A and B are shown apart, each in its own frame.
Chain A
Amino acid sequence: MQQHIAKYHRRRAKWASVAVLAALAGAALSACGSANNPDQAATTAPSTFHAVTQSSGSPITVWVDSTRLPGVQQYAKTHPGVKLNIVTYNGDADGSNYLQTKIELFNRAGSGWPDVVFSEEYNDASWSTGSGTDWVAPLDEGLVPQSTLADFAPNALAPCTDDGHVYCLRNDIGQNMLWYNATLMKKFGYQVPTTWEQYEALGAQVAKQHPGYIIGSVGDAWTPEVYFWASQCPANQITGNTVSVNTSNQNCTKMASLLDAGVANKSLTTQSAFADSFVKQYAAKTLMLIGPSWYGQYVFNAALHVPAGEVAAAPPLTWAGQATPTTGDVGGGIWMVSKYSKNLSAAVALAQYMATNNAYQLTAPTYPAYQPAATAWLAAQAKQHYFAGNVSSVFTQAATEIWGGWGSGRYSQENIWAATMVPRITNGATISSLLGTWQTAIENQAQSFGYKVG
């Protein structure tokens, strides 16, 4: 803008610029094209993939976040034949859009793409295969063996799949389960709930008998994935290029009422489990938290500093009478390979190693999406003796119960919830009263990303 302001210093220049603008506008008005930018409209991904000319032995560039960095460094050490150029970035986490920004610029420049990318946002896969963006290689067409792909946890590759092809390898999954402080539960004489109804009743009991203690949080962006996904709320159904949203469905409304009751009696907090204020207020008063598999280490251990031997996990809750138990999923990173890579075999080998090889996955802080690695990972976790009892069976069970009806679009449900719902909930509005607002926000966002809303 500075340069525009400079124009004001001379009136003539200003009027000249106005004239130029007017002339351009005139030319433009007599134009013929359509304003609809086709980039926005999604089309199906190409079914046959043509790699660029390969040059074996050429260096590959990998973008990785700090958590995954040691794994890649280890790979570089054990594979001295591969020329690796390692770039650390923020993993595209927390809505930073760093990856999108760079890739769009590389797309415009026609060069510069990294060969392998790790992203903490699995939505990046759908975004990457969008027609205007379209920069990732389909891995199921001869690059990664079908037998390997088949060993990922059920639905773990769903976010990677577009038009029948797999475009990324899932690093980890965040299957939700019921985390609880076994020591506190025993002290208070409470039973661990198995149904949502029992959970709600326990909330009311806690509110009366032990006010100040909480059994969950509805204060952050993961609320839809933790509660509404588990409840099979059809808020995020994506078929091809159509998004269907129905937040007035009973599966949504009954969960909203349950959460509202908890917020009203203060057994559920509206503070985010990741806020400093949460740690201060609830470090010793978190009776339960429903959340992903990584909550145990990240929240209870690292943030709340709950001593070893107190935290335990229980299987995901179900509604009374629900035939098949279902749960949601929070996060889980992905490995993508550029379709412009000049050394696809080396790029795919690295991505596959990181996602599936025990040598790395056993050291990973999160639950591997690749099932053989997950089994070994659980055994390694059990040796750390942080949790009260063995959580392996809960992890394994929850991983198979992720409901497949929650889509993975180019937009982020987390962003929508955070910007639209969290401030209103913090302000005292009930979730039930906001379901319509949520629906509109999702539909608007989906449309702005080129989806049809049906």
Chain B
Amino acid sequence: MALSLRARPGDAPVLPARPRARRGASRGRAGYGFVSAYFVLLLLFGVAPTVYAVWLAFTNSSGQLVGLGNFTEVLHDYRFLPAFEDVAVYLVIWLIILVVAVVGLALMLHGRLRRASAVSRFVFYLPGALAGAASALVWMFMLDPSVSPVAWLLHGLGYSSFADVIAPQRLPVVFAVMAFWTGAGGWIVVMYGALNNIPGELLEAARIDGASALQTAWRVQIPLLRKWIAYMVILAFATGTQLFVEPQLVGEASLGEVSDSWSPNQLAYQYAFHSNNFNDASTVSIYLLILGLACAALVVFRTGLFEAGQ
């Protein structure tokens, strides 16, 4: 790519280099000071639990090392593959909706809807401000034909009861819709910001060359958004594989019609808190970690996400 996303229009002119020797050392120390608070919390609540989970995954309840024993044990659990299948289907649906709709809406906000853009961005963002559990509750209300304000639509689709709506084959779509509604708004705002970073003269040049809005979007804006989209996909994939709140709440609200191990994270929860098996619970989380790492590696290497200075 010829253009660097790091060059922002209106960047301050380059200042003459400061005398490093004099102030470098103290600036470095101040930096550590700022980072340390976060670093301590990260160690305590991020790194330490992860290391503990890795330890648990390779040991049994008596603390003996068991090699990959937990991994094969979990793999052979009858709930393991279905849980991953459920989440795979959900992820495919969700990621496609997310990428297409977020990029599409951000482009529209940036182009045609510019006048109403600030209000729209706020409105899009609003559902995201609602906590996950609360939004799942809102959706359970929306999806129950006997109380939903859009009951006519649900009846039109042939669903007469909540049990119909949450039939197993429709669950991935239901969860994808819930996740999109809460998660997409924030990403639309991020994409909008990224679009603002594209130099105006580029778009102008495209216009002068006779490119339509669609062509500009397809050939100029989207290629320049590539890294942002990759970033979104990595994070969305990671949060998506960890789906928990939605199936758990819908399961409880339907008196158990959604399996209590629908998603891998729920399976881990079942292991830990129902079977008193924290080792297998950690093993599931390590599987998820490996999946997340693999997806991130793939996306990072394919899109050159962190390649600086092109």
Contact = CB atoms under 8 A, between A and B. Distances in A.
Interface of A: 1-6, 8-9, 11, 14, 18, 21, 24-25, 27-40, 94-97, 100-101, 104, 107-108, 127, 130, 132-133, 219-221, 270-272, 274-277, 279-280, 414-415, 418-420, 422-423, 426-427, 444, 448-450
Contacts of A100: 273-274
Interface stretch (B22-30, B83-91, B205-213, B289-297): B289-297
A340 B199 CA distance: 68
Contacts of B66: 28, 31, 33-35
A448 B306 contact: no
B296 A21 contact: no
Nearest to A8: B296
A35 B62 contact: no
Given A3-B47, A33-B66, A422 B163 contact: yes
A49 B137 CA distance: 45
Contacts of A271: 161, 163
Interface string B286-310: 0011001100110010000110000
A3 B50 contact: yes
Contacts of A31: 58, 64-67
B276 interface: yes
B234 to A, nearest CB: 7
Contact of A422 (B79, B257, B278, B306): B257
B276 A24 contact: no
A1 B238 CA distance: 7
Contacts of B145: 277
A8 B255 contact: no
Contacts of B289: 1, 4
Contacts of A414: 255-256
Nearest to B161: A277
B252 A96 contact: yes
B60 A34 contact: yes
A426 B168 CA distance: 11
Contact of B68 (A28, A96, A276): A28
Contacts of A94: 252, 255-256
Interface string B264-295: 00000100111111111000000011001100
B69 A8 contact: no
A33 B65 contact: yes
Contacts of B42: 3, 6
A51 B126 CA distance: 54
Interface centre among A8, A40, A271 (most CB of B within 10 A): A8
A336 B66 CA distance: 36
Given A25-B58, A419-B259, A1 B68 contact: no
Contact of A32 (B65, B238, B257): B65
Given A3-B42, A29-B67, 20 more contacts: A25-B68, A27-B58, A29-B68, A35-B60, A35-B67, A35-B72, A37-B70, A39-B276, A95-B260, A100-B274, A219-B163, A221-B256, A276-B146, A277-B144, A279-B146, A280-B146, A415-B256, A419-B251, A426-B163, A444-B78
B163 A275 contact: yes
Given A8-B306, A94-B252, A96-B252, A132 B276 contact: yes
B54 interface: yes
B68 A272 contact: no
